[in-house]
Structure 1
């Protein structure tokens, strides 16, 4: 009879990443890596226990003759650095820090922002090999990641809903991608009311499985990190995936469950040569042809941008 928790078994076959900006939760859960996004940072920034961290981040901003918008933008970067620097102390691996979603269609601005974030972390004593720059997987974002990877700045391409996004990211040499699971399921349940999905037929699980198998079969080194889970069934159905980033509530459920966890995904090594790279036309057509991917990518970018704007409003009142 199995005596190990599902979480402990999962950790034996998959790198478990904490999907939260809550430092206390990370300290309790002991993940290998951690990932944040504007929504998680906004939530954490409003928690009383992090008031001193926010105040310290604002104090680090050099105002000079900068406009209010420039001061607030730098304050947001410093807050990310503040949370990230604390999280780095708690995990042995890497922390993902997201570039402003409003730059998702601006390659040059994304590159400049990423370089600045890396510079700020270096000033805080955190080297780039402990970080991943998180960028939305638009065509422009993927091109930015290609430049950054060539400079030794590793990237996490996020908000991946379509296969073309995943493939183009790997072809650009991205260190890691975050294909979403739960948000894909949300779209299909809304589009097909009354349809019941099992963990195995869950469209998000099917999507990540196909991406994982394609990467391994074609010899891509890009790490596949399933994200955005709605239930533990989705997580179990992806056991064996390179990485899985999971929120604290679901991590607690997995820790409490004692049951056998079979491996769902296995890397059997490359058996096929890589295909010619997707060009911009092929990428954009594939996205246009995938209503779910197009809608969820746009929705995700809008959501993260809205939370960045909410944080700006809070900071404007403090500054």
Structure 2
């Protein structure tokens, strides 16, 4: 077996792309999108009709340009999600607008809207995960949605504090960003690289995974945002890994042995189980410069791509 096949025997592989051809080729269990991926997808010929349909939908419901584009981008994310779901057996993660990351009520409302749009397309909530940034407000929104039976994927997760709060809130799944953690440490230390086993992103996910398993949390750990296949292979055995097409191809073309690195049946954790109050959470995040800086940067970047997506749709509408 090639490395991708071996990895799939140890870990659920998720496609980190909105590219239909890539999903069709690699046949992942699940798939995930974000504003950056949707922006790329909007420019692909295969989605041209979805863009037209979404704009027509926005014009039908919206009052003013801004409202039209909000409705249109919601519809587009759902139509692309539906297209992806036709090719995979599992679930699609669809992201809430990053500009709502510090507004619990608005995040819940947007999640309800996305689920409603999926249901209008004949897709039940059991096939959708709502992606929310791992802010304090986002985690509280996720807690409320989980109690309503709407499962969530907490994204832009960089630190143990965020992971602990997510588990305590009962969220379904977290997406710790391995590669972006590595980026921060390379910049802060001046190092060009780290051995895979010493990669700060890998070590962070391993710590979270073992903490969850040692304390009986059901929250799924899905490593994300990789910079090389060494990081991926060092997390073999993690509940899930969401991987971009370039690394899926690299793994498919490699035949080296893939060994289990994480084992739910034999976890080891020195971290004590705790429940974080808001002030404790915020202080712990304040003390974690990497997590604080990368969370803020990630929200800004996703928000910027959301704006670019809206501008792209506006340009198409006016052409």
TM-score computed with the length of structure 2 as normaliser: 0.96
Separation of aligned partners in 1, 2:272 and 2:28: 33
Give the Å deviation of 1:46: 1.2
Confirm or deny that 1:96 pairs with 2:93. Answer: yes
1:104–1:140 CA contact under 8 A, matched in 2: yes
Separation of aligned partners in 2, 1:27 and 1:118: 24
Separation of aligned partners in 2, 1:287 and 1:65: 38
Structure 2 residue matching 1:13: 3-state secondary structure: coil
2:164–2:274 CA contact under 8 A, matched in 1: no
1:218–1:271 CA contact under 8 A, matched in 2: no
Give the corresponding residue for 1:307: 305
1:35–1:96 CA contact under 8 A, matched in 2: yes
1:27–1:90 CA contact under 8 A, matched in 2: yes
1:163-219 deviation digits (Å, cap 9, x = unpaired): 010110111010000001000000000011135410000000000000000000000
1:223-258 deviation digits (Å, cap 9, x = unpaired): 000000000000000000000000000000000000
Which of these residues, 28, 34, 38, is aligned with residue 35 of structure 2? 38
Give the corresponding residue for 1:317: 315
1:215–1:222 CA contact under 8 A, matched in 2: yes
Give the Å deviation of 1:274: 7.3
Superposed CA RMSD: 1.5
Kindly report structure 1 stretches of 4+ aligned residues shifted beyond 3 Å: 269-274
Give the Å deviation of 1:275: 2.8
Separation of aligned partners in 1, 2:142 and 2:169: 7
Separation of aligned partners in 2, 1:262 and 1:27: 27
Which of these residues, 76, 79, 85, is aligned with residue 76 of structure 2? 79
Confirm or deny that 1:220 pairs with 2:191. Answer: no
CA 1:126–1:274: 2 relative to 1, 3 Å: farther
Separation of aligned partners in 2, 1:65 and 1:131: 25
2:57–2:71 CA contact under 8 A, matched in 1: no
Separation of aligned partners in 2, 1:9 and 1:271: 24
1:23-67 deviation digits (Å, cap 9, x = unpaired): 121111100000000000001111223212211222233535612
Give the Å deviation of 1:162: 0.7
Give the corresponding residue for 2:7: 10
Separation of aligned partners in 2, 1:275 and 1:27: 41
CA 1:236–1:153: 2 relative to 1, 3 Å: same
2:210–2:267 CA contact under 8 A, matched in 1: no
1:232–1:250 CA contact under 8 A, matched in 2: yes
Give the corresponding residue for 1:286: 284
* Further displaced range: 42-51 or 161-170: 42-51
CA 1:94–1:274: 2 relative to 1, 3 Å: farther
Structure 2 residue matching 1:31: 3-state secondary structure: coil
Which of these residues, 52, 59, 68, is aligned with residue 65 of structure 2? 68
TM-score computed with the length of structure 1 as normaliser: 0.96
Aligned length: 316
Separation of aligned partners in 2, 1:152 and 1:71: 29
* Uncovered stretches (5+) of structure 2, i.e. residues with no partner: none
Alignment map for 1:54-203 (pairs within 5 Å): 54-61=51-58, 63=60, 66-194=63-191, 196-203=193-200
1:65-84 deviation digits (Å, cap 9, x = unpaired): 61211110000000001100
* Uncovered stretches (5+) of structure 1, i.e. residues with no partner: none
Give the Å deviation of 1:138: 0.1
